[in-house]
Structure 1
Amino acid sequence: MIFFGVSNKKILILALFFILLAPSAVRAVNSGDSVNFYIDSNYDSSARSQTTATLVKTTSNIYFYVEKKWLDSQMPAKQNEILLNLDSLSSEFSNRIYPTLTSVFGSEWKPGVDGDAKITILFHPMKEGTGGYFRSADEYLKLQISDSNEREMLYLPISQIDNPEIKVFLAHELAHLITFNQKDKIFDVQEEVWLNEARADYSSNILGYDTSYSGSNLQKRAQTFLEKPTDSLTEWQESKYDYGVVSLFTHYLIDHYGIDILVDSLKSKLTGINSINYALKRNGVKEDFSQIFTNWTITSVVNDCSLDIKYCYLNANLKNLRLNSTLNFLPLVGNSAI
C-alpha cells in the first residue's frame, strides 16, 4: 500500500498502530513453557488476579495449562496421573463435547482474537463449589481491556483435575464461550445471565451425561431446587440455588417444546425472555414465556401427566419430583413466601 503526502514517521506510527490492533499470530508453544495469566479473583482460592501456569499438553484443538506452583509441588507419579487424566479429557472434548455442542449451538469465535483455533484451558485453585468460569475479557485485545489474556480461554478448578465429572464442567464453560460468539460478536448484545447459564447447564443433558441420574448434574440441580424452590429464575445472584431453579425450568421448557427454543433464542439479536418468546413464536408454539412459566410452577407442585401433559415433567428422571403443596408460588423475580 502506498501513502501519498504522508511522512515516513507518520507511516511508521500508522503501521505500528495497525499491527497492535491486528490479532496475534498463531503462537509456537512447547510443553513445559510457562505463561503468566490473568485470572478472576472472585473465583481464585486465594483471591489472586494473576498466576503462572505450565503448558502440559497440546492437542489439535486445546492447550492445557496447569498452575505451575501447584504442579511443581506434585510428586512425579501424580504428575503422570494428571497427564493421563488430561488424555482422557482431551479425547472426550474432541470426540464428543466440542462436535456435539457446536453442532447444536454453533461455533465459538474461531480463530478468534489471537488468530489461533486452539482453545486454552487453565487449571488453577478455585474457591470451594466453583466448577469453572469463562472471562469475556479474554476475547478482547489488551488495548481494549488491559487484563485480557487475548485468547479463547476457559478456566477449570484444579481440585477436580482427576475427577471424571470434570467433563461436565468443561462442557458448561464451552457453552459460555460459544454464547459469547453467537451473541456478543455476531449481534453485539450481551445475553442475560440466567439464560446464558440455562444453556450452559443444559449442555450436560445434550451430551447424555444426565442419562444415568444417580450422581448426575441433573440430580444435584434437582436436590438444590428442592432446598430453595423460591429462588428467582431471572435475578441471578451467583448462588447454587440459582442453578437449581434455572436447570429445572430449562428441562421443563425443552422437554415440552424442543431444543430449538434454546438454539433459536441464542441465534437472535434479542436476549432473555424476549428471545425465548421469539423462539417460541418461530417454532409455532402458542404459549408465551409467561404461560409456560406458570405451567412449570404448577408442575413443580403436582407433576402429574394425568391432569394435563403440561403439568408434568417429561424427563423420566424427574417423574417423582414434587414440592411441598403449601408452596404459594415460584417467583419469576424476587422471593416468594411459603
Structure 2
Amino acid sequence: MTSRACALLLGLTVTLAACTSLPTTPVTARTAWAAGGLVRQFVLPAGEAMRVELGEANRLLMAVSAAHAEAPAFQFRIQHQHPTQGEARFRESGARLAQEPGALDWEPVRRVQAAAETETFWVNIGDSTEAGDRKRTAKRRLTTAHANFYVDAEGAEGITDDQLKRLGEAFESRIYGTVTGTFGAEPKTDPSGESRVYVVLSPAVDNFGKDKGLMGYFWSRDLLSPAATGPRAHTNQKKVIFLTSRLFEQPAQTVFGTLAHEFTHLCVFNQKVLVPNRATPEETWLDEGWAMLAMDLCGYGLRGGNEAIARDIKRFEEAPAEYSLTDWAGNPNGFSYGLSYLFARYLYDRFGAEVVKDALAAPATGVGAVQGGLVKREASFQDVYSDWTVANAVSGLKLTDDRRFSYASDVNLRGTYGGLTLGGVQARPVADFQKGLPGTLRPWSTTYYDLKAPAKRTWAFEFRSGSALFGGAIVLP
C-alpha cells in the first residue's frame, strides 16, 4: 500500500452457507491489485467467518451485497487495530400470458393488409388486467416508413399535426435504426399481416389523467393468439405501442424517449419469445434495463439530460440498501428504472453492443441471460456484478479509466442532468468501530458503510454470515 492518506472500498456479495470459525490467515484475493493499484477483489469461501486485512488508510467505504433470493443475515465488525496497523406491470403480465397454452400459436395472414383510416383498439388504463381494458376508436393521422400513428377519436383533439410529425421523424431518424441495430428487429408482420408498428395515442393510457406517471406501454398480449377469457380475450393482434395523449405536455426527452423505451420492449419480446418460439419473456428488471439503455442510445436518456431518470438514480444513491437489482417489485415504489439503467449501461460500456445481442439470444432470462451474454467474454455474472458495485462507488471521482470499473465518460453518478445533481452512492456512517454491525440483504443488493479515522491505520475486518462473501477493496485518494 502507498503511504499517502487514502480511502478504501470493499465490495462484498453474499451467498448461502453455514458459519464456522475465524481463519487465522487473510483471505485469498480473486485478482491481484488492478487499475494501477486502485482495486483488489476477494472471494471468501462459504461457511466461514473471515478476517480481511487491508493497508493503511484513514477512511474506508465498505460495500456489502447479497446474491440470492433469501435475505441472509450477516455481521460485519471492525477488529481492534494492531499498534502499527450501496410500467413494469405489463412485463410481469406478459410473461405469464406467454406461458398460457396456445398463446404463441398464430400465423400472420399471407396478404399484408393496409392499415385502415379508423381502427378500434383495446386500450388498457394501466393495471394490465382485462377489467382495465377500454375499447377506443382511433384515426390514422400519420404514416411513416415503419409506423402508423393513430390518435384517439375522443379526448385527444389537442394533438397537432406538427407534434405527430416530430414524433414520426424521431422514430424514423433516431429510434428505429438504433433500437433494431442494438436489440434486434421487431416482428416483420403482426398477426393481422401489417408490417408497420401501430403507435396509438389515447387518454385511456393514463386512465384519463388519474395515473399521470404512466406515459405509455407495450403489452405483449397484443402479439399473442386470442383466448376466450382473461387479458388475451382482448388481444389487438397488432404490433402496437400505446402512448398517453398527454405525452406532449412532457419534456422532449420524455416524449421521444417513451416511444424508444416501449419500442425496445416490442423488439426484446420478439427476440426472446417469438423468434425462438419460446415462452420465456425477459425478466422485468433486465427488460426495463434494456429499454432504459435504448433511451440513452437514442439521445433521450440520462446522457441527454433526462432529469426524470436522474431523479430515479438519485433515489437509489440515497438509500442503496433498499434496492435490489433483480427483485424489481420489491423495490421502493415498486420499481427501480434508474438501477436497471445503470446495470444495462455498464454492460454496454464495458463489453459493447454484442453483449446485448448475446444476452437476448440466450435461452435463459434475467441473471442467466446476462451470464449467457458473458460466456464469450470469459466473465461471470458474479464477478461483473462485483465490478459494477465498484463502478457505482467511484463514478465521477476520476480515479481510473479501467473499463471494469467505469461508465462511459458522460455517465457521471456525481454529475448534473437537467436541473438535478447526483451525489454519488451514500454510505452509512460507522461511529463505533468495536461494535458489530448486523444486517440483512435483499437479492443482488448492496449496502455501504463509511468508516473514518482521525489518522491512517491498518484495518482488519471480520465477517460472519451463513453465506459466502465476495467483493473488492478500492483505494481512494
Q: Shorter-chain TM-score: which interval?
A: 0.7 to 0.9
The yes-or-no answer on 1:57 pairing with 2:141 is yes
Aligned to 1:151: 238
Give the alignment of 1:61-210 within 5 angstroms. 61-71=146-156, 74=157, 78-79=158-159, 82-125=160-203, 126=206, 127-143=211-227, 145-163=232-250, 164=252, 165-187=254-276, 188=278, 189-210=280-301
CA contact (8 A) 1:175 1:199 kept: yes
What is the alpha-carbon distance in structure 2 between the residues aligned to residue 103 and residue 152 of structure 1? 18
CA contact (8 A) 2:319 2:426 kept: no
What is the alpha-carbon distance in structure 2 between the residues aligned to residue 305 and residue 332 of structure 1? 30
In structure 2, do the counterparts of structure 1 residues 302 and 190 end up closer, same or farther at CA, with 3 Å as the change threshold?
Answer: same
Aligned to 1:248: 342
Aligned to 1:325: 427
Give 3-state SS (helix, strand or coil) of 1:122's partner.
strand
Give 3-state SS (helix, strand or coil) of 1:167's partner.
helix
The yes-or-no answer on 1:265 pairing with 2:331 is no
Aligned to 2:382: 290
In structure 2, do the counterparts of structure 1 residues 258 and 22 end up closer, same or farther at CA, with 3 Å as the change threshold?
Answer: closer
1:331 Cα deviation from its structure 2 partner: 4.6
What is the alpha-carbon distance in structure 2 between the residues aligned to residue 91 and residue 27 of structure 1? 24
Q: Deviations over 1:250-309 (max 9, x none)?
A: 222222222222221012222211121121121x2x431111212222333343453683
CA contact (8 A) 1:224 1:241 kept: no
Greater relative CO, 1 or 2 (CA 8 Å, sep 6+): 2
CA contact (8 A) 1:266 1:275 kept: yes
In structure 2, do the counterparts of structure 1 residues 143 and 58 end up closer, same or farther at CA, with 3 Å as the change threshold?
Answer: farther
What is the alpha-carbon distance in structure 2 between the residues aligned to residue 288 and residue 21 of structure 1? 37
CA contact (8 A) 2:151 2:202 kept: yes
What is the alpha-carbon distance in structure 2 between the residues aligned to residue 22 and residue 271 of structure 1? 25
CA contact (8 A) 1:37 1:51 kept: yes
What is the alpha-carbon distance in structure 1 between the residues aligned to residue 410 and residue 306 of structure 2? 16
Mind listing any 5+ residue stretches in structure 2 that lack a counterpart? 1-104, 415-422, 430-438, 450-477
Q: Deviations over 1:1-28 (max 9, x none)?
A: xxxxxxxxxxxxxxxxxxx965355444
1:88 Cα deviation from its structure 2 partner: 0.9
Letter of the aligned partner of 2:426 in structure 1? Answer: N
Aligned to 2:26: none
Aligned to 2:328: 236
Give 3-state SS (helix, strand or coil) of 1:70's partner.
coil
| TM-score for both structures, normalised by structure 1 | 0.79
Letter of the aligned partner of 2:196 in structure 1? Answer: K
1:124 Cα deviation from its structure 2 partner: 2.1
Give 3-state SS (helix, strand or coil) of 2:336's partner.
helix
What is the alpha-carbon distance in structure 2 between the residues aligned to residue 200 and residue 135 of structure 1? 14
Give 3-state SS (helix, strand or coil) of 1:250's partner.
helix
1:56 Cα deviation from its structure 2 partner: 3.5
Aligned residues: CA RMSD: 3.0
* Corresponding pairs, count: 306
Aligned to 1:4: none
What is the alpha-carbon distance in structure 2 between the residues aligned to residue 275 and residue 203 of structure 1? 18
CA contact (8 A) 2:318 2:425 kept: no
Letter of the aligned partner of 1:160 in structure 2? Answer: L
What is the alpha-carbon distance in structure 2 between the residues aligned to residue 302 and residue 95 of structure 1? 35
Moved more, 62-71 or 165-174: 62-71
What is the alpha-carbon distance in structure 1 between the residues aligned to residue 302 and residue 386 of structure 2? 27
Give the alignment of 1:306-321 within 5 angstroms. 306=399, 309=402, 310-318=404-412, 320=414
Q: Relative to total residues, which structure has the larger strand share, 1 or 2?
A: 2
Q: Deviations over 1:222-259 (max 9, x none)?
A: 23332442311111218474112111222222222222
CA contact (8 A) 1:23 1:115 kept: yes
What is the alpha-carbon distance in structure 1 between the residues aligned to residue 172 and residue 312 of structure 2? 27
1:155 Cα deviation from its structure 2 partner: 1.0
1:335 Cα deviation from its structure 2 partner: 8.5
Q: Relative to total residues, which structure has the larger helix share, 1 or 2?
A: 1
Letter of the aligned partner of 2:238 in structure 1? Answer: R
CA contact (8 A) 2:222 2:236 kept: yes
1:216 Cα deviation from its structure 2 partner: 4.8
Q: Deviations over 1:57-110 (max 9, x none)?
A: 231322222222203xx4xxx35xx22101111111112211221122211111
In structure 2, do the counterparts of structure 1 residues 148 and 84 end up closer, same or farther at CA, with 3 Å as the change threshold?
Answer: same
Give 3-state SS (helix, strand or coil) of 1:316's partner.
coil
What is the alpha-carbon distance in structure 2 between the residues aligned to residue 28 and residue 104 of structure 1? 29
What is the alpha-carbon distance in structure 2 between the residues aligned to residue 329 and residue 245 of structure 1? 20
What is the alpha-carbon distance in structure 2 between the residues aligned to residue 48 and residue 69 of structure 1? 18
Task: Give the number of the structure whose alpha-carbon radius of gyration is greater.
Answer: 2
What is the alpha-carbon distance in structure 1 between the residues aligned to residue 326 and residue 283 of structure 2? 8
Q: Deviations over 1:114-152 (max 9, x none)?
A: 111011111123012113111111102325732100111
Give 3-state SS (helix, strand or coil) of 1:155's partner.
strand
Aligned to 2:57: none
Letter of the aligned partner of 2:213 in structure 1? Answer: G
Letter of the aligned partner of 2:108 in structure 1? Answer: P
What is the alpha-carbon distance in structure 1 between the residues aligned to residue 448 and residue 405 of structure 2? 22
Q: Deviations over 1:184-237 (max 9, x none)?
A: 112212211111111111001211334754335643442333244231111121
